Homo-oligomer: A and B are copies of this chain.
Amino acid sequence: MDSSHKRPYYAVIFTSVKKLDVQGYDEMAARMETLSRKQSGFLGQHSVRESSGLGITVSYWQSEEDIAAWKANVEHQIAQDRGKSDWYEGYEVRVCKVEREHSFGSLQCE
């Protein structure tokens, strides 16, 4: 995440619990990350998942319209459907407006 982006910009917080021993998840996650990076307005992403299954992915976007366009992407919609049927015990999605920020040192970030 390049911190030089001008506000307003937006964060999508995706908090999820993944089922254990699911098929095809890692390939889907990698494909969705590749696809999202090509979307208009994509600014960056951080993603962490523990072996327990709990994960948080935060992606950053220039506008709410960019977020809506990514949500409506056809391949992403197929992944969203499989997420509900096959991969996740549950998830929460929050679309947020970044009001202010500060940082220290550097992250290995994307």
Name A residues whose Cβ lies closer than 8 Å to a Cβ of B: 1, 3, 10-11, 13, 15-17, 46, 48-50, 54-56, 58, 64, 83-84, 88-109
Q: B48 near A107 (CB under 8 angstroms)?
A: no
A88 smallest CB distance to B (angstroms): 6
A100 to B97, CA, bound (A): 10
A84 to B106, CA, bound (A): 11
Q: Indicate which residue in B1, B11, B46, B103 contacts A93 across the interface (CB closer than 8 Å).
A: B103
- For A15, the chain B residues whose CB sits under 8 A away are 1, 46, 58, 107, 109
Q: B99 near A64 (CB under 8 angstroms)?
A: yes
A38 to B102, CA, bound (A): 24
